[in-house]
């Protein structure tokens, strides 16, 4: 039964933004200059946003200078997202009926009705953005999770088209709380939402070979196992972004939501990708992993992914459970 429950959770739960909740906060000024911290090497530009939980809210490059990250609500963005414990019905306490029953699900961007609080938000050196976030529980209107999320964002040395992101999650739950002890739970490493025009999905096979992946608009999302732990989405002009997540151990979630070729980061339609790991996330667990994003054409992305595979294919996530 536990296996069936988590199989169902994997199938439907990574859909935080697919059904707009009327309580969802609207960000009137997406990526305001005073809230946005950017790295720009002349080839690619990456940014985190203090007003959105220090999630990644900006990604562009020389051949695609506009932002391609969907930021319409706290469930989108590129962000950390984790699951643990039993699924609870807390509607009597204000839990969203759209997300009930629900497990312990801290979200970097925020929860139903509010954005997450940021403790630290800085450029730690000329090449790294650092943040520490107090996440929100997704299913509640405004409930902070007893947890911290830390993130380091930079460029991969010698590869200007490649961003590397290091994530650290510290669970600080009480050992005897209502969600219970650790058991295998799916983790999005990371959750990615891009603009709807990047709707041509491909899995990378290595040596410049790709496999087309198709999926009708969801959720539920499609599920696929990319052989090289890398998947990309492209627009009609052949520009795209690949996510390489060597710690992924499960089929990835992917697919479009809504219709059309909308390029607006504030629009409802979007596309989604999420590499998945499965770990025993306990009340006091510390979880760490890295992932990479590569931008450009299939030729550029293929070359960079081959190099990343040579360097990091054996890398795995780290789980520490005191």
User: Rounded to an integer, what distance in angstroms lies between the CA atom of residue 166 and that of residue 181?
Assistant: 26
pLDDT at 11 over 60: no
For the chain, give the mean pLDDT: 92
CATH number for 64: 2.70.98
Quote the percentage of the chain above a pLDDT of 90: 87
Residue 307 predicted with pLDDT over 50: yes
d(CA 106, CA 188): 11
> Tens digit of pLDDT for each residue in 161-194?
999 999 999 999 999 999 999 989 999 999 999 9
Identify the band that residue 12 occupies on the pLDDT scale cut at 50, 70 and 90: very low
Which range has the worst mean pLDDT, 9-13, 56-60, 81-85, 217-221?
A: 9-13
Do 55 and 47 contact (CB within 8 A), yes or no?
no
pLDDT at 225: 98
C-alpha span between 19 and 2 (Å, rounded): 26
The residues pairing with 144 across neighbouring beta strands, listed in sequence order, are 136
| Cβ partners under 8 Å of residue 79, min gap 6 | 53, 55, 56, 107, 108, 109, 190, 191
- Reported as a single tens digit per residue, the pLDDT across 124-154 is 887 999 999 999 999 999 999 999 999 999 9
Residue 10 lies in domain: 2-320
pLDDT score at 34 = 77
Q: Cα separation of 115 and 75, whole Å?
A: 10
Name the more confident of 32 and 295: 295
pLDDT band per the 50, 70, 90 thresholds, residue 17? very low
Per-residue pLDDT, averaged over 295-318, amounts to: 98
Cα atoms in the 13 Å half-sphere on the side-chain side of 116: 38
Angle made by CA atoms 3, 90, 119, in degrees to the nearest 5: 90
Domain count along the chain: 1
Task: Tell me the percentage of the chain whose pLDDT exceeds 70.
Answer: 90
Residue with tokens 């410049």: 208
- pLDDT value of position 261: 96
- Spatial distance between the Cα atoms of 75 and 111, rounded to a whole number of angstroms: 7
Task: Tell me the pLDDT tens digit for each residue of 18-77.
Answer: 444 445 555 555 677 779 999 999 999 999 999 999 999 999 999 999 999 999 999 999
In this prediction, residue 250 carries a pLDDT of 98
Q: How far apart are CA 250 and CA 221, in angstroms?
A: 14
> Residue 150 CB: number of other CB atoms within 10 A?
18
- Predicted local distance difference test score (pLDDT) of residue 10: 40
DSSP letter at 300 equals H
pLDDT tens-place string over residues 240-251 = 999 999 999 999
Q: pLDDT-based confidence at 298, cuts 50/70/90?
A: very high
pTM listed for this prediction: 0.93
């Amino acid at each position: 039964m536990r296996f069936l429950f988590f199989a169902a959770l994997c199938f439907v739960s990574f859909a935080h933004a697919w059904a707009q909740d009327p309580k969802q906060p609207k960000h009137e000024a997406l990526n305001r200059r005073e809230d946005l911290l950017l790295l720009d090497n002349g080839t690619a530009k990456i940014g985190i946003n203090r007003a959105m939980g220090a999630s990644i809210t900006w990604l562009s490059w020389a051949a695609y200078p506009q932002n391609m990250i969907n930021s319409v609500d706290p469930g989108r963005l590129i962000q950390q997202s984790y699951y643990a414990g039993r699924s609870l019905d807390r509607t009597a306490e204000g839990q969203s009926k759209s997300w009930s029953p629900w497990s312990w699900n801290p979200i970097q961007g925020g929860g139903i009705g509010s954005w997450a609080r940021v403790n630290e938000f800085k450029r730690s050196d000329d090449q790294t953005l650092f943040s520490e976030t107090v996440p929100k529980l997704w299913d509640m209107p405004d409930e902070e999770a007893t947890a911290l999320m830390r993130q380091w964002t930079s460029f991969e040395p010698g590869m200007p088209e490649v961003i590397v992101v290091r994530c650290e999650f510290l669970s600080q739950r009480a050992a005897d709380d209502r969600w219970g002890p650790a058991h295998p739970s799916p983790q999005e490493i990371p959750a990615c939402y891009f603009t709807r025009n990047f709707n041509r999905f491909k899995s990378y096979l290595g040596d410049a070979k790709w496999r087309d992946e198709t999926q009708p608009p969801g959720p539920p999302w499609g599920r696929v196992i990319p052989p090289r732990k890398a998947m990309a989405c492209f627009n009609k002009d052949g520009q795209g972004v690949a996510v390489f997540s060597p710690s992924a151990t499960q089929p990835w979630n992917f697919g479009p939501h809504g219709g059309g070729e909308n390029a607006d980061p504030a629009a409802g339609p979007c596309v989604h990708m999420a590499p998945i790991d499965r770990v025993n996330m306990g009340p006091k667990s510390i979880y760490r992993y890295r992932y990479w994003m590569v931008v450009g054409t299939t030729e550029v992305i293929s070359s960079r992914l081959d190099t990343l595979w040579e360097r990091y294919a054996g890398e795995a996530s780290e789980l520490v459970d005191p």
